[in-house]
Amino acid sequence: MSVYDLPAVNACLNTLAAILLGLGFYFIKNKQIDRHKICMISAFAVSALFLVCYLIYHYFAGSKHFQGEGFVRYVYFTILLTHTILAVVNLPLVLVTFYRAYKQEWMRHRKIARWTFPIWMYVSVTGVIVYLMLYQLFPGGAT
């Protein structure tokens, strides 16, 4: 395994995070608190591992330029822009949401989780879409 395998690893981590988030949402809606907690802690750990791998990849490999042309280029950059902005917004939201759960401030936890969940899910899913578009559908050159 090399640093150039990390984008695929990151896509898998984002996929796993989205699955865990979806399961966590299902469990909380069905009042299965312990399962919800396990899923959300796991999603946090997977997302943290993603961030480490993402930073390592970009430190050593730099960035890869999108090779698609025409309309798909606008689609890609729209997804990438919204993904990037919401990823930055998501980190403090996740941390505050977890802190409020840790402190058992359930009303405040629920209030922010209503924002955190859809943003975190969007960031996870669009991370996979960006990977597919950049590395699978329009791979082009190395950098």
Burial readout 66-101 (b: 16 or more C-beta within 10 A, e: otherwise) = bebeeeeeeebeebbeebeebbeebeebbebbbebb
In a domain, 133, yes or no: yes
CATH code of the domain in which 84 resides:
1.20.120.80
Domain that holds residue 127: 3-137
pLDDT tens string for the chain (143 positions)? 899 999 999 999 999 999 999 999 999 999 999 999 999 999 999 999 999 999 999 999 998 999 999 999 999 999 999 999 999 999 999 999 999 999 999 999 999 999 999 999 999 999 999 999 999 999 875 54
In a domain, 100, yes or no: yes
In a domain, 142, yes or no: no
State the pTM of this model.
Answer: 0.92
In a domain, 143, yes or no: no
